[in-house]
């Protein structure tokens, strides 16, 4: 009996940790531990003990899912842990859109060192600066595009040095 309780306890613990560290690996291990507890229960106590263990496992699993998806998101901790907003910004220019942006002026939204974010025609894009670093607020020129980002260079204002 203590082995069955140990397997179920570890299974529940893994299911609880799965809520904190998502990825389905810990939850799968927890489910397998509870399944092992059911197998041991069938072997040790026969059909009635095994069926009771299976019923208990499904009840605990259902309760865990209910708590994770219905109750936890409504708690203060859950609101901080779960994503509730949608990201709508554009960060990649592909294909025809990227070709249309070549030659346009851009403003560095973040420091490009050499990668960062730029603003072109009111939209935000990821960019790579061929000139190396470009501070935020720099005026840049879109010269091309590669894997999901625009290529930019610094625009150099004309020199107004006086020669005395």
Least confident segment among 40-54, 97-111, 147-161: 147-161
Q: Looking at the whole model, is its pTM more than 0.85?
A: no
- CA separation for the pair 42, 158 (Å, rounded): 84
Q: pLDDT category, 158, cuts 50, 70, 90?
A: very low
DSSP structure string for 10-68: HHHHHHHHHHHS-SSHHHHHHHHHHHHHHHHHHHHHHHHHHHHHHHHHHHHHHHHHHII
| Section 33-38 average pLDDT | 94
The partner residues of 146 in beta bridges, in order of sequence, read 149
Segment 17-30 mean pLDDT: 83
- Inform me whether the pLDDT recorded for 160 exceeds 70: no
- Structure confidence at residue 162 as a pLDDT band (50, 70, 90): very low
> Binning pLDDT at 50, 70 and 90, where does residue 92 land?
low
In this structure, what is the dihedral angle of CA atoms 86, 88, 94, 98, given to the nearest 10 degrees?
A: -160
Do residues 80 and 89 touch, judged by C-beta distance below 8 A?
no
**89: pLDDT strictly greater than 60:** no
What is the reported pLDDT for 159? 44
Please write the tens of the pLDDT for every residue from 123-148.
888 898 988 888 999 999 999 888 77
């Amino acid at each position: 009996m203590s082995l069955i309780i140990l397997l179920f306890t570890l299974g529940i613990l893994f299911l609880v940790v799965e809520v904190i560290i998502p990825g389905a690996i810990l939850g799968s291990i927890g489910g397998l531990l509870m399944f092992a507890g059911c197998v041991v229960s069938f072997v040790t106590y026969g059909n009635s003990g095994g069926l009771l263990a299976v019923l208990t496992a499904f009840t605990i699993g259902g309760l865990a899912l209910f708590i994770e998806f219905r109750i936890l998101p409504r708690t203060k901790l859950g609101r901080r842990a779960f994503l509730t907003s949608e990201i709508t910004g554009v960060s990649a220019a592909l294909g025809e859109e990227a070709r249309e942006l070549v030659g346009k002026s851009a403003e560095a939204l973040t420091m490009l060192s050499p990668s960062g974010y730029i603003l072109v025609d009111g939209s935000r894009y990821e960019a790579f600066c061929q000139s190396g670093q470009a501070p935020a607020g720099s005026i840049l020129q879109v010269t091309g595009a590669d894997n999901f980002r625009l290529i930019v260079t610094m625009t150099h204002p004309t020199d107004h040095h006086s020669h005395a």
